[in-house]
Amino acid sequence: MAVKSIPEEYGSLVFNDRVMHERLPKDVYKAVRKCIENGTHLDLEVANSVAAAMKSWAIELGATHYTHWFQPMTGLTAEKHDSFITPQEDGTVIMEFSGKELVMGEPDASSFPSGGLRATFEARGYTAWDPSSPAFVKDGTLYIPTAFISYGGQKLDKKTPLLSSIEALSDEAVKMLHLLGHPEVTRVNTTIGSEQEYFLIDKDMYMKRKDLLLTGRTLIGAPAPKGQEMEDHYFGVLKPKVSEFMHDLDEELWKLGVPAKTKHNEVAPSQHELAPVFEKANIAVDHNQLTMEVMKRVADRHHLACLLHEKPFEGVNGSGKHNNWSLSTNTGKNLLDPGKDLGNNTVFLVFLVAIISAVDEYADLLRVSVATAGNDHRLGANEAPPAIISIFVGEELEAVLKAIDDGTEFVTEGKKQMGLGPQVLPHITKDTTDRNRTSPFAFTGNKFEFRMPGSSLSCADPSIVLNTAVAEELSRMYDKLKDVPQDQLDEEIRKLLKEMLDSHKRILFNGNGYTDEWVAEAKRRGLDNLKSLPEAMPRLVSKKSIELFGKHKVFTEEELNSRYEIFLENYTKTIHIESLTMQEMVRKDFTNGLVKYMKDITDEVIKKKQFMPEMKCTYERQILSTLENTSEKMAVSLDKLEADTQTAEKETDALRAATYYHDTILADMDELRASVDAAEAIIPEGYLPYPTYGELLFALR
């Protein structure tokens, strides 16, 4: 068979626009396009026609089942597969799929986290087709992206609020653009490109580590003699095994229509990154979820394990997911492109100031949106931005903003050319948004890059907050400007921007975000430093949050309360499992190795003494006494962890429980780990039933 070219393979498993154009009757195709572009509803007749086309297309690709694919509050995706078969009287079957089955599903909602919504409402939940994200075929099943809501209409997932926030932002942005003289714009899309970091390790080794298997991160483990200090991994040559994995991954993603674009080694040993070409937010979020799943599957096929946890290893960098975010009009204009005459680009400046104000005013909600037990290990740990939100805009934008603030004229300097020395090298224009890698929220040329999200997070979480907060700022700006006569509009806009900058410029910070000076400076500026999930989470149910999300119909107060419960519970459960796993690993696996090694040395000493009574055995005794001392400490810490975990189990209040897990259990685990790691560092490899850091991080070839 001839090898298919990439353009032929790309999207070959996706029910995309091309397929719809080919297979749907003209009027049906038009109705679906209208629905996707303008968010209009589809009637059942259209759905029936789409379902029939989808079914025959999927069957040609080998599908036997369909599933409503949704994103419950577990942070993962969920699916229940139904086959197309309908038995007939004569003992045969036909393959059926109706419009009703396409549009709506009814999974039992009672086993998904609902944070109390379940108690007051029926357990029934509904999945509803999201026509704006294309269906696809994977492993013999037709996947239909859906929203997941309760019987009473409450949002039980991450897609529904994301869609609401995208609509809210579009509505406000369109109003503003009309006011600014762009009546041709009818919709503004949020765009997202998410850079996904991950680790790859040998599968056999992975299977031998209970901590990685059960919690996604190593809970004990002495550092390897080498870490990331040589800075030799970032952008380094790909090892053959890794390269084969990445190649396979790209191909699978391309078939599914996921535009995987860039791949490279990251800073830590065995750490890598994949970045796609950006897409409309809703699709980008679905595609990122899909990417994470496919990564794991392809890794497995290559006898590897793909780790998506935020902090799989102590002492080397953890993994994040940079969320690149921008706004573009249905007429194809990126609203965050400063253009050539930045100082006079009113549209850009209005949106820029709206974003700055939104990030300052709702910084705590952005922080909440990236809070997970895993990500807490990264933020502020000198590898990722601190838990303080600030914005980096770069020199040029800062100069414009200062000019607005001072009421002076801004003169565009034009891009500077960089002399590269040797004549053979091309001239390169200097990027004025010189990359500040330490900023959590950075302007990078024509988009913002939010760098706080953890590697396993759904991009929906931070986008929901950002979209809604920017919608709110735009809405307030519109209210202030809507009645201004045309000839005074420019002046009033300048005044308004100045006013807003005055109140929000404290969030702008171009310096090094990893320093202690910044922590102190941020405090002086009154910026929040919410270090952990339990500290941050109450902000989700604050009056300000309830008002914001309520006004833009993204979350009701009840939905916020339910999410608050779910996030706290998830945090508590995560650390609870970590504690139990650590106790088991230390008691059974580690202690076994420790005792065996101590016994072997003792036997050795006894033997030596029998053979030559005058032998001192200084070194053996030294090892024995060090191990003895550390195991004493270890026993005390282990008992404390066990007792405190039992106390924790009794706490019924969600916030108090989470706080206790943070303050007490995590501290207990750190203490226990210190003595285990100290002992592990001198125990020879063969004694432990699991691989060490050195093997885990450096074994792949």
Which spans of this chain sit near ligand ADP (rule: CB under 6 A)?
191-193, 195, 262, 275-278, 322, 324-326, 334, 446-447, 449
Residue numbers at the binding site for Mg ion (CB under 5 A): 195, 322
Residue 39 CB, shortest distance to Mg ion, in Å, is: 30
Instruction: Decide: 115 and 73 in contact? Cβ < 8 Å.
Output: yes
Residue 444 CB, shortest distance to ligand ADP, in Å, is: 6
Residue 273 CB, shortest distance to ligand ADP, in Å, is: 7
227/445 with CB nearer Mg ion: 445
233/539 with CB nearer ligand ADP: 233
Of 699, 651, 644, give the one whose Cα is nearest residue 667.
Answer: 644
Separation of alpha carbons 168 and 103, rounded Å: 23
Instruction: Decide: 630 and 675 in contact? Cβ < 8 Å.
Output: yes
Separation of alpha carbons 437 and 392, rounded Å: 10
Q: Please count the other Cβ atoms lying within 10 Å of the Cβ belonging to residue 441.
A: 27
Q: Please count the other Cβ atoms lying within 10 Å of the Cβ belonging to residue 212.
A: 25
Residue 322 CB, shortest distance to Mg ion, in Å, is: 4
Alpha helices in 81-209 (DSSP H): 99-103, 117-120, 159-179, 203-207
Residue 401 CB, shortest distance to ligand ADP, in Å, is: 21
Residue 463 CB, shortest distance to ligand ADP, in Å, is: 11
Residue 90 CB, shortest distance to ligand ADP, in Å, is: 54
Residue 436 CB, shortest distance to Mg ion, in Å, is: 11
Residue 261 CB, shortest distance to ligand ADP, in Å, is: 7
Q: Of ligand ADP, Mg ion, none, which one sits near residue 191, judging by CB under 5 to 8 A according to partner kind?
A: ligand ADP
Instruction: Decide: 223 and 268 in contact? Cβ < 8 Å.
Output: no
Separation of alpha carbons 157 and 148, rounded Å: 5
195/383 with CB nearer Mg ion: 195
Alpha helices in 279-437 (DSSP H): 281-301, 346-361, 363-369, 394-406
Beta strands in 159-293 (DSSP E): 188-202, 260-265, 271-276, 279-280
Residue 628 corresponds to which tokens in the numbers above?
Answer: 């003895």
56/429 with CB nearer ligand ADP: 429
115/193 with CB nearer ligand ADP: 193
Residues with Cβ within 8 Å of 411's Cβ and at least 6 positions away in sequence, in order, are 343
Separation of alpha carbons 163 and 147, rounded Å: 9
277/606 with CB nearer Mg ion: 277
Q: How far is CA 67 from CA 50, 139, 254, in A?
A: 15, 11, 21
Residue 635 CB, shortest distance to ligand ADP, in Å, is: 46
455/574 with CB nearer ligand ADP: 455
512/592 with CB nearer Mg ion: 512
The phi, psi pair for 681, rounded to 5°, reads: -60, -20
Residue 324 CB, shortest distance to Mg ion, in Å, is: 7
Alpha helices in 280-362 (DSSP H): 281-301, 346-361
Q: Of ligand ADP, Mg ion, none, which one sits near residue 696, judging by CB under 5 to 8 A according to partner kind?
A: none
Instruction: Decide: 264 and 246 in contact? Cβ < 8 Å.
Output: no
Q: Of Mg ion, ligand ADP, none, which one sits near residue 277, judging by CB under 5 to 8 A according to partner kind?
A: ligand ADP
Of 270, 272, 269, 271, give the one whose Cα is nearest residue 226.
Answer: 269
98/345 with CB nearer ligand ADP: 345
Beta strands in 23-63 (DSSP E): none
Residue 195 CB, shortest distance to Mg ion, in Å, is: 5
Of 185, 279, 274, give the one whose Cα is nearest residue 238.
Answer: 274
Per-residue b/e over 321-350, b at no fewer than 16 CB within 10 Å?
A: bbbbbbbbbeeebebbebeeebbebebbbb
Q: Of ligand ADP, Mg ion, none, which one sits near residue 463, judging by CB under 5 to 8 A according to partner kind?
A: none
418/636 with CB nearer ligand ADP: 418
Q: Please count the other Cβ atoms lying within 10 Å of the Cβ belonging to residue 175.
A: 17
Residue 37 CB, shortest distance to ligand ADP, in Å, is: 19
Separation of alpha carbons 223 and 60, rounded Å: 52
443/661 with CB nearer ligand ADP: 443
Residue 404 CB, shortest distance to Mg ion, in Å, is: 28
3-state class percentages of the chain: helix first, strand second, coil last, to nearest 5: 50, 15, 35
Q: How far is CA 548 from CA 187, 460, 557, in A?
A: 22, 17, 10
Tokens 């780990």 label which residue? 673
Q: Of Mg ion, ligand ADP, none, which one sits near residue 75, judging by CB under 5 to 8 A according to partner kind?
A: none
Question: By beta-carbon distance, which residue lies closest to ligand ADP?
Answer: 193
For 635, how many CA atoms within 13 A lie in the half-sphere containing its CB? Answer: 7
74/446 with CB nearer ligand ADP: 446
- Burial of 194 per CB tally in 10 Å (0-12, 13-18, 19+): buried
Of 467, 182, 486, 483, give the one whose Cα is nearest residue 348.
Answer: 182
